[in-house]
Amino acid sequence: QKEVEQDPGPLSVPEGAIVSLNCTYSNSAFQYFMWYRQYSRKGPELLMYTYSSGNKEDGRFTAQVDKSSKYISLFIRDSQPSDSATYLCAMSGVDSGNTPLVFGKGTRLSVIA
């Protein structure tokens, strides 16, 4: 079992839809949970991160962490064609200087106008 599992998609939604992207993980030591977005021919860029459990909102994006279920989610409200990209979850332990980020394989999202 990989440490981080992420459905690769592809996921196709109409413009304005609410998108839900998810990852599960097996390592209970993970404390930092991040979401990166990667456009074609670009490197990943950080969208947001959370520490431990709970929710975090940034504009149209909301990240949720449920440590009891080892499950994290990213919600995108009012999705736009510009949101079309691959979304990668990433995690690390609290001792982040000594434990590298572990990434999911990414979910490819297409938002159709």
Partner 1 sequence: KAGVTQTPRYLIKTRGQQVTLSCSPISGHRSVSWYQQTPGQGLQFLFEYFSETQRNKGNFPGRFSGRQFSNSRSEMNVSTLELGDSALYLCASSSAGGSSGANVLTFGAGSRLTVL
- Of residues 28, 43, 68, 82, which one binds partner 1 by CB under 8 A? 43
- Euclidean distance between CA atoms 86 and 18, whole angstroms: 16
Q: According to CB under 8 A, which one of 12, 26, 100, 112 is a site residue for partner 1?
A: 100
- 1 is an interface residue for partner 1 by CB under 8 A: no
Q: Is 55 near partner 1 (CB under 8 A)?
A: no
Using the minimum distance from each CB to partner 1, give the nearer residue, 81 or 100.
100
- Within 4-33, the residues that bind partner 1 by CB under 8 A are 6, 32
**In this chain, which stretch among 14-22, 57-65, 67-75, 89-97 interacts with partner 1, using CB under 8 A?**
89-97
The Cα–Cα gap between 61 and 28 comes to: 25
Q: Count the neighbouring beta carbons within 10 Å of the beta carbon of residue 80.
A: 12
Q: Kindly state the DSSP code that residue 41 receives in the 8-state scheme.
A: T
| Dihedral over alpha carbons 22, 8, 44, 49 (to 10 degrees) | 10
From candidates 19, 23, 34, 74, binder to partner 1 by CB under 8 A: 34
Number of H helices and number of E strands within the chain? Answer: 0, 11
Which residues of the shown chain bind partner 1 in the complex (CB under 8 A)? Answer: 6, 32, 34, 36, 41-46, 49, 51, 88, 92, 94-106
